[in-house]
Amino acid sequence: MAHLLNAEQLQEHKQRNTVHSLLLIGGIALILAIATTLLWGPLGLAISAGLIGLLVLMAPSIPPAAVMRLYRARKVPRGQDQLSLILDELSRRAELQTRPELYLIPSATLNAFATGTPRRAAIGVTEGLLRTLSLREIAGVLAHEVSHINNNDLRLMNLADIMTRFVQILSYTALVLAVFNLLGMLTGDVPFSWLAILVLYFAPALSSLLQLGLSRAREFDADLEAAELTGDPLGLASALSRLERYQGQFWEDLVYPVPTRRVPQPSLLRTHPPTEERIGRLNQLSGHLSRPPIAVVEEPMVSMLGYGPIAMRPRYRFPGLWY
């Protein structure tokens, strides 16, 4: 297809993704280096550096199906249902070599995400999204994810997700170390640095803020191309508006799960630039696109794989609360 991004813009996009990747890895590495050095000295620094390097090497090779299993997602068989037909048409318009697999996630949250590589990708859609948005709006959301696949954004997104999980696991180590310190205070011996414990404890919030801050330009590009793919920028704008009303504030995902807060979204599902700005840009595209809108037949959406309210209850999965 004739992309809205010309050759120069595509090159700029690739360079920006590279810089973002380096900033993400460097920022999280710095957080971990400070904490592990305070706790275990040069040995801890060497171990954390080795683990980060291993994660960077492993991130691109993780199969999309393995990521989907983390969310208990089920694969939607390719057929004549509306979602499959919409994804088929989007893949054709984007000229993807391989049509992404579609997965359904048993979650009451409203979201979708893509994972994998352009040659082998998967898109996960939550039950809550299907039951809340119209098919026109869902088409815009799917087009947004197809755009991420087409622009090869998934490498950074997957890397960010894996490193965020790693940091979360280490943050639970901080809680264990704090218990040892409290017990040690009874005998007058504090074995671990309180500063290191605090750094580890707040590391997930810091890495999440870094992840959010790096996503702005990529999300605007994906919105732009999604509008071109569907020929209907107002459909995606309507979806974003509705998601903004139903979802909580982003800072709720930066703190630990407690009884009074909602279940946090997985890090792959975190939102991006201000929704009002994204909607404003999409509204400006109305009437200026060359492609005809994708034809959808609105119909009530029910579970395609038999998920019900019980199956979507929150359940505990290390290292946090998940749907």
- In this predicted model, what pLDDT tens digit does every residue of 70-103 receive, in sequence order? 888 899 988 878 899 999 999 999 999 899 999 9
Instruction: Give residue-wise pLDDT tens across range 312-323.
Output: 655 545 544 444
Instruction: Give residue-wise pLDDT tens across range 108-150.
Output: 778 888 988 888 899 999 888 888 899 999 999 999 999 989 8
Instruction: Give residue-wise pLDDT tens across range 166-190.
Output: 777 778 888 888 998 998 888 888 8
Residues 6+ apart with CB under 8 A from 262: 248, 252
Instruction: Give residue-wise pLDDT tens across range 33-69.
Output: 887 787 788 888 888 788 877 877 777 778 889 888 8
Higher pLDDT, 260 or 109: 109
Residues 6+ apart with CB under 8 A from 71: 103, 105, 107, 124, 266, 322, 323
Terminal Cα distance for the chain, rounded: 37
Determine the pLDDT at residue 315. 52
Residue of 127, 145, 219, 228 with catalytic role: 145
Determine the pLDDT at residue 238. 93
Instruction: Please say if the pLDDT value at position 218 is more than 90.
Output: no
DSSP assignments along 196-257, one per residue: HHHHHHHHHHHHHHHHHHTSHHHHHHHHHHHHHHHT-HHHHHHHHHHHHHHS--GGGGGS--
Window from 39-43, 48-52, 296-300, 305-309 with minimum mean pLDDT: 305-309
Give the whole-angstrom CA distance, residue 298 versus residue 136: 8
Max mean pLDDT among 10-14, 18-22, 31-35, 120-124 falls in 120-124
Determine the pLDDT at residue 124. 92
Predicted TM-score (pTM) of the model is 0.75
Closest CA to 148 of 139, 161, 157, 140: 157
What is the token pair recorded at 108?
Answer: 């009451």
**Peptide bond just before 257 cis, omega within 30 deg:** no
Tokens 């390097």 found at: 53
Is 145 a catalytic site residue?
yes
Determine the pLDDT at residue 251. 41
Closest CA to 322 of 109, 175, 156: 109
- Whole-angstrom Cα Rg for the chain: 21
Determine the pLDDT at residue 314. 52
Q: Give the pLDDT band (50/70/90) at residue 195.
A: confident
